[in-house]
Chains A and B, each alone.
Chain A
Amino acid sequence: MVPIIADDAILYPAATLRVRFRKTGALQYISHLDLVRTFEKVLVRAGLPLWYSEGFNPHPRFSFSTPMSIGLESLYELMDVKIEKKVNCEAVKEALNRNLTAECVVEEVYYPDTKFTDISLASYEIVLQTAGADEALAEKCGAALRGSPVTVLKRTKSGEKETDISPMIIKSEASFAEGKILLAVTLTVDNEKFLNPEYIVTYLKETLGVLSGSPLEEAYSILRTGLYGKSGELFR
C-alpha cells in the first residue's frame, strides 16, 4: 500500500488539499454543521497529517465549498483541508473511503489552484413525485421557473422577506419521465446570492400545488450535480 505521507518534512506554510466527494441517501439528512463534525473525525481516523490551529484548543482546519442544507444529495462537493506534510493523493483518497460509508464517497483528492470564493453557480436535478404529474404539469413547472418575478418568502439575516429569486435562477428545464417531473436547474451560489434549491420546490408547491398530498405517496429529491465558476466552467 502506498503510504499517505509522501514526505515527512513539515510544510511551512501548511498546504491545502482538496477533496471531492459525493453524499447521497441518509447523508442528505445531516445538517451542514453535523457534516463538519463528521468529517473532523473522518480526517483523524484516516490518519491525515492534519495541520492544527495554535492556541488553547487546537483544531484541524477544513472548509466546505458551499453550504449543504438538509434534504440535499450531491454528486459534487468539495472540501479543503490544511495539512502539514506532503501526501500521496491517491492514498489519501483510499484512506478516506475506508473511513466513510457507501453513502459518502471521495472521488478525487488533489492540490487545488482555485479558491472557493470563485464558485458562482451550482446545477441541480430536482425530481418531483407528485399527484397529477404529466407532460403538461412539467412544462408548467419549467415555465413558472423561467418567468419573472419568482417570489418566495426567503430567510435572510434580517428575518423572512418576500424576495424575487428569478435573478438567481440561471437555467431551468423541465421534463416528464416515468411518472415523475424532472427539473434541471442552475442556481447562483455566490455568497450574497446563495439560493437554497428548497425554494424552487417551495415555489412550485405554492403556485402550482404540487406535492400537496400524503407523504406516503409523494416525495421530492434534490441532487446537486456540479459547481461552476463565473463564466460557467466546471469548478475544480
Chain B
Amino acid sequence: MNQKLLSGILKSVSKPGRYTGGEFNSIIKDKSKVDVRFAFCFPDTYEIGMSNLGVRILYEALNQKENVWCERVYAPWVDMDEKMQEYGIPLSAHESGDAVKDFDIVAFTLQYEMCYTTALHMLKLAGLPLLAKDRGEDAPVILGGGPCAYNPEPVADFFDIFSIGEGEEALPELCALYAEMKKSGRYTKSAFLREAAKLEGFYVPSLYSVSYREDGTIEAYTPLYEDVPKTVRKRIIKDLDEAVYPEKLVMPYIETVHDRVVLEVNRGCIRGCRFCQAGMVYRPIREKSPEKLCKLAKCLYENSGYQEISLISLSISDYSRIAELTDLLLEWTDERHVSLSLPSLRIDSFSEELMKKVSSIRTGGITFAPEAGTQRLRDAINKNVTEEDLMQAVGIAFGAGKNNVKLYFMNGLPTEEVEDVVAIADLAKKVVHRFYQTPNRNKARPVSVTVSVSCFVPKPFTPFQWVGQDTLASLKEKQEALRLAIQDKKIRYNWHDAEVSHIEAVFARGDRRLSAALLLAAEENMMFDAWDEFFSFEKWLDVFARAGIDPAFYANRTFGLDECLPWDIIDCGVSKSYLKREYERAYRHETTPNCAEHCNGCGANKLGGKTKWCR
C-alpha cells in the first residue's frame, strides 16, 4: 500500500480506494534486486486506467522480466490533486508508493488527444520539468506510447522517446538496453536515446530537426545523425497466439469502468472504413486461435472471479472463427453463470445465432453503427452496410424481445451535405417502424431508438487524413438540422460537443509547434479535458491565441496531397499511396472490398505477421 499518502488526506477525499493500492495480484518486487524501475502512467483516473487492456498486457510483459519492476500510476482526481499540491506530496507509484521522479523510465500511454494536458499535469505533480530539454541526467527517461503516438508531434517536445506500435516486445527490449548501458557505465541519457533510436519502433524526437515552409507547412524532417532512421517503423507482434497475455489480473477493490475479463480476439480490422484510425494502424490483421482464447478465458476467470467475459475486437463478428470460439466458451461458461459479451457487432453480420449465444444469460442494450444517413455517404466512407442490412439486424433484435437500440452516427464526414444528416432522422424512423412490423416484438414496453451522433475528426493514417474538419459553425448547423428533423418521441437524440472535436482535430493533425500551447495549458492547470466538466473551449482558444497558433490551420485546412505531414516520420505499415487511392475513391463514392474478399495492397503486409488475408 502507498504508505506515503497520509490517512488524514485519504479520509478527506472522494473514493480513497483509488489511491491505496494493495490490490490482489498486484506485483511487488524487491527494489534492491531490479535494474529498471518502470512507472507506467495512465493520464486519467484509476477507474478508467484499470480497465485498459493495453496497460494490463504491458504490465505483464514488463514484469515477466525479472530485472524490471513495472508499477502503475494514475492521475489523482481533482480533490486529491489539490491536497497533493497543498501539502507538497509528489506523484507516486501505486505499488511501492515511491515518487515517480525517482524512477528510471516513466511511460505514459496516450489513448486520446484530450489526455495530453493530464499527462503534463502528472509530470508537474511528479516534480519534473515539462520540456525534455529542461530535464537533467538524473530525471527519468520519459516515454510516450499508445494510439496517439502515431502522431506524437504535438507532444514531441515533452517526451524523450516514443514507442510506436505494439509494445509487448519493444518495451522489454528498451529496458534491457537501459539496464545494460547502466551496468556497463555507458549510460548517459543522450547516449541511451541515440542507441534506443536504432531499435525498431522507437522514435526520439530530439534527433530530428524540422524545417517549415513560408506558408507554415512542414518542409522536411531531417535526422541529425547518419545512424538515426529516416522514418520509424511501428512494431507488431507477429504471432498473436504467442504474444504475452496476463493470466492474472490486478483486482481493483473499487468499481472500475470494465469489471470483467477482457479477451482480445484479434488485431486489425478487415473493413477499411475511411475515417477509422484503428482500422488502419492495427494492420495487418492477425487472429488468436479459439483454443488459445478459450484456455486464456478459463484461466482469467479462475484467477479473477469475474462473471463476465467480454470478447474485444474492432469488429468481433469478422473474427473468422467466431462460432467455434463462442461454442467452446459456452461449454463451460453457462454452468458457471459466466456471461459473454460481444461489443462492436457489425450490422451486416448480426445473426440470430450470435444473438442467442450472447444473450443466453445476460442482456444489455444493442448498438449498431451505420455512421451515416444515406447510402451515398456510407459508400464514401466505405462503411459497406445498407439500409436493408440495418433493418434486418434491428428486426432480429426486436424479434428477440429487445425494444431499445442505439444507433451511432458521425456528422461532418467528408462529402457530407445537410441532406445526409437529415436522412439520419428518416433512418431512425424506419427503425421505429420496423419494430411495429415485428410480429413477436416485446409489447410490454414501448420502443426506444437512441441516435447518437459524434463529430468527424480527421485522423493520421486514414484516407481522410488530408481532409479539413467541418467548421464549428457548419457542425453546429448540421446538429441543429437533425434535431429539428427528429420529431418522434420514441427517438432520442444525443450529440457530441463539436468544440471538443475541434480541439481534438487540432491535436490529431498537429505538429511540434503546438507544444507552445500545451505549455500554456499546463501553466493554467488545465487537465481532464476528456471530462465535460473540465473542458473549456474558451481556455483553449485563449492558449492558442497566446501561443500564436491558428487552430484552423490544423483542424480545418485541407492538407495538400504532396505536403509533408507531421506524422510522415512514422511508418505504420499502410502506405501513403494506398491512403491516397482510398481518398480519391471516397470522393467518387466508390467502395472498396474488405480484406477477406480481396487484398487491396495497403502495404501493411510488409510488416510480416501471421495473417490469413494479407498477400
Contacts and interface: CB of A to CB of B under 8 A. Distances in A.
B255 interface: yes
A40 B305 contact: yes
The residue among B11, B15, B87 with the most chain A CB atoms within 10 A of its own CB is B11
Contacts of A41: 251, 304-306
Interface string A165-202: 00000000000000000000000000000000000000
Contact of B251 (A29, A38, A58, A220): A38
B305 A45 contact: yes
Interface in B359-374: 361-363
A65 interface: no
A37 interface: yes
Interface stretch (A1-9, A83-91, A210-218): A210-218
Contacts of B349: none
Interface in A8-34: 25-27, 29-31, 33-34
A30 B255 contact: no
B566 interface: no
B16 A37 contact: no
Interface stretch (B20-28, B418-426, B469-477): B20-28
B1 A44 contact: no
Interface string B244-272: 00000001011100010000000000000
Contacts of A25: 1, 20, 22
A27 B16 CA distance: 10
A30 B259 CA distance: 16
A57 B503 CA distance: 42
B10 interface: yes
Nearest to A38: B253
A43 interface: yes
Contacts of A100: 24
Nearest to B13: A29
Contacts of B484: none
Given A101-B24, A215-B6, A215-B87, A44 B17 contact: no
A103 interface: yes
A36 to B, nearest CB: 10
Contact of A37 (B6, B255, B362): B255
A66 interface: no
B305 A42 contact: yes
B510 to A, nearest CB: 40
Contact of B253 (A30, A52, A56, A218): A30
Contact of A57 (B7, B24, B255, B362): B362
A219 interface: yes
Contact of A71 (B11, B83, B253, B305): B11
A221 interface: yes
A99 interface: yes
Contacts of A153: none
Contacts of B7: 71, 219-221
A234 interface: no
Nearest to A37: B255
Given A70-B11, A71-B11, A27 B305 contact: no
Interface in B319-342: 337
Given A58-B337, A214-B87, A29 B20 contact: yes
Given A41-B306, A43-B305, A215-B87, A34 B254 contact: yes
20 contacts: A26-B1, A26-B21, A29-B16, A30-B253, A31-B254, A34-B17, A35-B253, A41-B304, A42-B305, A43-B305, A44-B306, A45-B303, A45-B304, A45-B305, A56-B363, A101-B23, A211-B8, A214-B87, A215-B6, A215-B83
User: Which 7 A-B residue pairings sit nearest by Cβ, starting from the closest?
Assistant: A215-B8, A41-B305, A44-B305, A26-B22, A26-B20, A29-B16, A45-B305
